[in-house]
Amino acid sequence: MNFENLSIVDIQVHVRNTKPEPVTENSDWPDIIFRHYKDTDDLGIYFIKVTPGVLKISDNSLDDLLVSYDHNRKIISIDLDIISSLFHSNMFTVDGLLNAKFIKPIYDEDSDTLKINFVNINPLPTKIQKTTINDIEVEMDTAKKLITILFYNASKSIAKPLSEEEINFFAEKVE
């Protein structure tokens, strides 16, 4: 495989809070990076910059959803496979790239829920589906397309960005 020709597009999206102003340290979420690997039809959702030594373990939550954790068992990334079959076709541009305008992460501090929406409006009925991982559910519509990923207890289960000191510490552990 020629890796020089891989088409990778990063989309940086700010997490909108349901409250007008950040009230606590949990309210102000860092931006989330959505990395679309067009040639492999995958989407990586990165809550922190994944550097050497940070990734500890991964777990398949559903057939097409892989969750990766750090050493504290906090979520650092989500990988979605074969996104052309997971999302409605309007999620992609004419060139086949993921359309950033539909990605809407919202954090609700009162319920401590991070909700990543992949549609603006969905006229089809939806159903919340549990995964094998506590605190993660997905919302699918009747066409079996992914509408939303829900993270409950988000402030406790999702990793926050690492300091340079922490990044260097983990990098040294893998050398």
Q: What is the pLDDT, as a whole number, of residue 158? A: 93
Closest by Cα among 39, 127, 116 to 83? 39
Query: What pTM did the predictor assign?
Result: 0.82
Domain hosting residue 156, numbered range: 3-174
**Distance separating alpha carbons of residues 51 and 61, to the nearest angstrom:** 23
Dump pLDDT digits (tens) for 120-138.
Answer: 777 789 999 998 888 999 9
Alpha helix (H) ranges present in 32-163? 83-86, 154-157
**Distance separating alpha carbons of residues 50 and 162, to the nearest angstrom:** 9
Q: What is the pLDDT, as a whole number, of residue 167? A: 75
Sequence-ordered strand ranges (E) for the chain: 8-13, 16-17, 32-37, 42-46, 57-62, 65-69, 75-80, 104-108, 113-117, 126-130, 136-141, 146-152
Q: What is the pLDDT, as a whole number, of residue 99? A: 85
Residue 165: Cβ within 10 Å count: 7
Q: What is the pLDDT, as a whole number, of residue 5? A: 47
Q: Which residue has the tokens 């009747």?
A: 142
- Into how many domains does the chain fold? 1
By the 8 A CB rule, do 99 and 91 touch?
yes
Query: DSSP class of residue 27?
Result: T
Instruction: Spell out, as residue ranges, where the chain has pLDDT lower than 50.
Output: 1-5
Q: Which residues pair with 6 in a beta bridge?
A: none
| Residue type present at position 2 | N
Largest distance between two CA atoms of the chain: 51
Q: Which residue has the tokens 């926050």?
A: 160
**Distance separating alpha carbons of residues 49 and 68, to the nearest angstrom:** 12
